[in-house]
Amino acid sequence: MKHVILGATALTLLATSAVAQEVTLGRFFGDCEDAGTDTSASVGEACIIQSIINAADAEIDGLSINTLPTDWGNYYDQIVAAYAGGTPPNVHVMHRHRVPEFANIGALADLTDDLEGAGIDPSDWEPAALEAVTYNERIVGVPMDIHANLWHVNMDLMEAAGLVEDGAPILPSSPEEMLEHARMVQEATGQDYLAADFAEFPIGVRVALALIWQQGANIFEGDTATIDTEETRNAISAITQLFDAGLSNPQLNYADSQQAFLNGEAAVLVNGTWVVDFYAAEAARDDEGLNSYFVADFPTLFDEGATWADSHMWAIPSPVKANDPDTYATALQVLAFINDHNIDWARTGHMAVRTSVLESAEYAALPHREEYTGTADIARDTPPSVRYGAIQDALNRELQAIWLTGKSVDAALADAQSDVQDLLDR
Amino acid sequence: MPQHQGARLVLSQGQAAAILLLPFLTIYAVFLVYPFFKGVWISLHDWNLMAVAFNPDAKAYVGLSNYERVMWGSNITWGAWASPAFQFIGLAGVVASAWLYRTGRAGKVTALAMGGAALLLFVLPGFHPGEGGRWYDRRFWPTVGNTILFVGLAVPGVTITAMLLAAALDGETRAKAVLRTLFFLSQVLSVTVVTLIWQIMFSPRQGLIANLTQLFGGSPIVWLTAEGFAMASIVIATIWWSLGIAMILFLAGIQDISKDLYEAGALDNATGAKAFWYITLPNLKRTITLVVVLQIILHFQVFGQSHLMTNGGPNDTTQVLVRYIYQTAFRDSELGRASAMAVFLFVIMGGFSILQFVLGREKDQ
C-alpha cells in the first residue's frame, strides 16, 4: 500500500511539473488559420504575428499560449471591460496612443527593471520607439513597430499620365499641384487619382491631420481644442477639391477603397505600412488591375513634412506583476521572443523598432523598403490624451459629415471644436 | 384515511408556491433586480470604469448631475412650435384620443394612455436652447430621435411583412411548410452574421443589390454611407432578421380564427383579400397589439446593426441609444453617464410595457 501511495504521489508531482505555464494573450490584427510556426514564411499582419506566437508556444519550454479572439472592431472595449472585471489577458497588444488611458491609472506593469533580465535590451530600441512605451519615465511596454500612412502608388496609371521620373512617381508639392496631377491621371486613364477609406475608419482623419501638421498647427494643445482654424480649412479643402472635381470618391470604405486600388481604378491609395507586403504580393500576380506597385512617403503639400503615425506595443497588466510572479516571468519571455522576431514583423511593411534590425542587410532587402525611408522622419501624432479614441471618433464623424452628407465646413468644424472641447473638459 | 405517526410536513398552497418560486426569485433578484438598482446607483456617481476597478474610492457621488449633463443644457426654454412636426403629431394625437373616447371607440384607459403618450410628444420636443444656450450633450437627443425613427420604421415594417407572410403561408401544403421554415431561418442567425450578409448585399462594388441596379442600367447606391439610405439599410436588415417570431405569432393567431367565419364569409362572397380585410384582420387585433409592443421594446434596444453596418454614421444619422450607451461606458469609461442614459432607456421601455399591460387588461374586461 505504501508503495502505491508513494508511486501515486510521485506521478502526481511529475504530472504537475509537466503542466505548462499558460499565458493568455490578447491581440487584434484579425484571424489567421494555420499560421504554423515558420515565422519567416507567413504573409500579412494576422499570419505573421500568429506564426510568431505559435513559434513562442512551441520553442519556449513550459509555456502554453492561449490566444484570445482577435477581432479588431471592439478590441479596446473588450480590454477595458476585461480590466474592469479583473480578468485582463496576461499579455496584450495595444497602440502607443492608448498608453495614457491605461498607464494613467496604473493598469500597466512597470517593466523598466525587468527587461534586461528577460533578455530584452531597451538601448537597442530607436528613440521614437522608446518614447512610445515610456510613461512618466517608466517603460510600460515592449514596442513592436512604428507604422504610418503612406502613398501606395499604381505606377502604370502614373506612367500613362506622365507622372513618373527616374522610376519614381512625381508627387505633388501643393494642393493646387495635386489637383493638376489628378486631372492628368483622369484625362490619360479615366481613373481616379486618389482613393482612401474616407467613409469608415479614421483614415480620412489621418490624411486631414497630416495636412494640418504640415502647416504647423494641431487639433488641440493642452486642454484647448484648436480645430476651428484656417489651417484645418486649408487641409479639408485640399481633400474636398478632389471630391468636388470627381477625381476621388469619398464614399468608399476600407475594403472598397483597397479593392478600387487593387483593381487599377485609382492611381494612389492612402493607407498604412501594414499592407505593403500584401499589395506587393497582389501586384506580382499575373492578372488585371495593379501590376506595377510603388510605395512613397506621404508628400508635403504645405510647409513641413508630416504623416500620421502610431506604434504597436505589448504590455502586461500591473495585477499580473503584483500577484502572479510566475506568470509575469513567463509573459516577459513571450515579449522577449516577440522582440527577437522584430525583423519578421517588419515584413508586413511596418518600420522596425530595433536599431540592430534597422541596420541589418535583411531589413534593407525587404521589398519596397528603400522607397519610403523618409517616413520615419515625418512620423507624427496628436498630443497624448486619455480621450484619444473619443477625439478621433468626433473628428471622423464631422469630417465624414462634410464629404458624405454635405454638411457645411463651418458647421462641422464648430461642432467638432465644441465636441472635442467637451471631451478635454471632462 | 389513517394518519401516520410523526405526521409528514404538510404545506399550505402558499408555502408550496413560495418554495417553488424561490429558485426563480433568487436568480431574478441576483441577476436582474440587483444589477438594475446598482445601475441606478452608479448613475448618481462620477464613475470611471477603469479607475474604479483599480481603486474603488475613485468614484464620487454627484447626485443628478449625470442626468443633467446628458439631457439638459444651458438656457433651455420651451416653445409650442419649436419642433413643429413632432409637436403637431402630438397635439393631433391628444385630440384624436379625446375624440375616440367621446365617440366610444376607445375605452377610458386606452384613451388615457394614448393621450398621455401624445401629450409627451407635444411637450418634450418643445424644449430647445434659447439665445446663447446649448445642450450640454448635443448628441443625446438626436440619438434618441434616431432610435425612435428606427423603431418607427422597423416595427410597422416587421409587423406588416410578417402578417402578410403569415396569411400567405397559412395552410397545409408542403411548399408552404418549407417556405415557413425558410422565412423563420433568418431569425436564428446572430446579429454578426446578419450584418455581414447585409453588408455584402449593400456593397456598391460586389453587392447583389448593386449588381441588380447595374443590370437595369442604374448606378449603384452606396447604401451604408449615403445619408438618405443608411437608416433604411439597417431597417431592411432588421426586418429580414426579425420577421420569424412575428410571423409565427401571426400564424398562431390566424389558426385560432374559426373556419366557420371564413365559410360564412365565402357565402357572402368574401374570399381572398376581402376575407383577409374583414375576417382575418379584425380577429388578429390582440396578436397585432402583442407583436407591436414586443417589437417596440425589442427594437428600442437596437445596437448590432448600427454598430456593425454603419458605425452610427454617416453624420450620426444611424447612431442609436444603446450604441451611445455602449461607447460612453466602454470606449470612454464613463460608467456614471452611461448608466444615466440606460435609466432613461429603461423609463421609455417601461412606459411601453405598462401600455401593453393596460391595453391587454382592457380587452379582458
Which structural domains are found in chain A, ordered by start?
21-146+311-353 (3.40.190.10), 147-309+373-425 (3.40.190.10)
Same domain? For B175 and B307 the reply is yes
Instruction: Measure the CA angle with vertex A124, ends A120 and A128; round to 5°.
Output: 110
Q: Which residues on neighbouring strands pair with residue B128, listed in sequence order?
A: B77
Q: How many domains does chain B have?
A: 2
Do residues A386 and A100 make contact, with C-beta atoms less than 8 angstroms apart? Answer: yes
A411 touches chain B (CB under 8 A): no
Nearest residue of B to residue A84 by CA position? B53
Nearest residue to B329 via CA among B42, B137, B34, B55: B42
A153: enclosing H helix or E strand: strand A147-154
Mark which residues 157-216 of A lie under 8 Å from B by CB. Answer: 199-200
pLDDT in tens, chain A (426 residues): 556 665 665 555 444 445 678 999 999 999 998 899 999 988 889 999 999 999 999 999 989 999 997 778 789 999 999 999 999 999 999 999 999 999 999 999 999 999 999 999 999 999 999 999 999 999 999 999 999 999 999 999 999 999 999 999 999 999 999 999 999 999 999 999 999 999 888 999 999 999 999 999 999 999 999 999 999 999 999 999 999 999 999 988 898 899 999 999 999 999 999 999 999 999 999 888 899 999 999 999 999 999 999 999 999 999 999 999 999 999 999 999 999 999 999 999 999 999 999 999 999 999 999 999 999 999 999 999 999 989 999 999 999 999 998 899 999 999 999 999 999 988
Do residues A79 and A93 make contact, with C-beta atoms less than 8 angstroms apart? Answer: no
Q: Which of A73, A102, A404 sits opposite B314 (nearest CB)?
A: A404
Same domain? For B191 and B288 the reply is yes
Distance from CA of B222 to the nearest CA of A (A): 7
Same domain? For B217 and B320 the reply is yes
Which of B38, B42, B50, B139 to probe by mutation at the A interface, max A CB count within 10 Å? B50
Q: How many CA atoms lie within 13 A of A77 on its CB side?
A: 15
For residue A318, count CB atoms less than 10 angstroms from its CB and return exposed for 0-12, middle for 13-18, buried for 19 or more: buried
A251 touches chain B (CB under 8 A): yes
Over its C-alpha atoms, chain A yields an Rg (Å, rounded) of: 24
Q: How far apart are CA A67 and CA A47, in angstroms?
A: 13
Same domain? For B116 and B188 the reply is no
Same domain? For B271 and B307 the reply is yes
Same domain? For B91 and B150 the reply is no
Nearest residue to A243 via CA among A162, A175, A170: A175
Distance from CA of B191 to the nearest CA of A (A): 15
Helices (H) and strands (E) in chain A, counts: 19, 17
CB contact under 8 A, B227 and A405: yes
B143 touches chain A (CB under 8 A): no
Q: What value of ipTM does the predicted structure carry?
A: 0.84
DSSP annotation of A354: B
Same domain? For B160 and B126 the reply is no
H helix intervals, B219-334: 227-256, 259-267, 272-275, 281-283, 285-299, 304-305, 321-326
Distance from CA of B78 to the nearest CA of A (A): 23
Q: How far apart are CA A199 and CA B103, in angstroms?
A: 54
Output the nine-digit C-alpha cell for A317. 497588466
Domain that holds residue B122: 78-135
Do residues A303 and A310 make contact, with C-beta atoms less than 8 angstroms apart? Answer: no
A259 touches chain B (CB under 8 A): yes
A418 touches chain B (CB under 8 A): yes
Query: For residue B202, what is the domain's CATH number?
Result: 1.10.3720.10
Same domain? For B110 and B175 the reply is no
Q: Output the DSSP codes for B34-64.
A: HHHHHHHHHHTEE-BHHHHHH-GGG-EE-TT
CB contact under 8 A, A105 and B54: yes
Q: How far apart are CA A99 and CA A382, in angstroms?
A: 13
Q: How far apart are CA A411 and CA B313, in angstroms?
A: 17
Output the nine-digit C-alpha cell for A331. 509573459
B318 touches chain A (CB under 8 A): no
Nearest residue of A to residue B207 by CA position? A256
B317 contacts on A by Cβ (under 8 Å): 405
- pLDDT (tens digit, 9 = 90+) per residue, B226-255? 888 999 999 999 999 999 999 999 999 999
Q: Length of chain B in residues, anyone? A: 365
Output the nine-digit C-alpha cell for B23. 429558485
Helix axes A409-425, A388-405, angle to 10 degrees: 170
Amino acid found at B168: A
